């Protein structure tokens, strides 16, 4: 797989991220490294948001809070579009936080 494909796959769940990380380890370029960082940040954001929403819905009994749970899906689609267009553009809302994190990626 080429780096563009691996960049796209990295946004598709944690398993996709792991596949992209392992396969692209030897031949990664700046595009793949950038999207690996962004997608890992998105995965972490999704987990934290899920925990917060579950606690809030349990405490407040407001089921409409579940709509906020679609934010990671929308961000994932934006990330896939950026990766498909060979653009190193941060994800809205959370992208800037993860640009300089995860030094183990490269």
Q: What is the pLDDT of residues 11-42, one digit of tens each?
A: 998 999 999 999 988 888 889 999 999 999 99
Collect all residues with Cβ–Cβ distance below 8 Å to 28 and sequence separation of at least 6: 3, 6, 36, 106
* C-alpha separations of 14 from 35, 44, 62, 63 in Å: 13, 10, 29, 27
Q: What pLDDT shows up at residue 95?
A: 87
Cβ atoms of 35 and 17 within 8 Å: the answer is no
Collect all residues with Cβ–Cβ distance below 8 Å to 49 and sequence separation of at least 6: 68, 69, 71, 72
Q: How confident is the model at residue 57 (pLDDT cuts 50, 70, 90)?
A: confident
Q: How confident is the model at residue 87 (pLDDT cuts 50, 70, 90)?
A: very high
């Amino acid at each position: 797989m080429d780096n563009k494909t691996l960049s796209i796959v990295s946004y598709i769940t944690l398993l996709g991220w792991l596949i992209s990380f392992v396969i692209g380890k030897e031949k990664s370029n700046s595009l793949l490294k950038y999207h690996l960082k962004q997608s890992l940040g998105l995965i972490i954001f999704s987990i934290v948001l899920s925990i917060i929403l579950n606690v809030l819905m349990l405490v407040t009994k407001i089921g409409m809070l579940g709509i906020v749970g679609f934010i990671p899906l929308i961000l994932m689609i934006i990330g896939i579009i950026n990766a498909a267009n060979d653009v190193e553009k941060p994800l809205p809302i959370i992208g800037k936080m993860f640009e300089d994190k995860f030094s183990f990626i490269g």
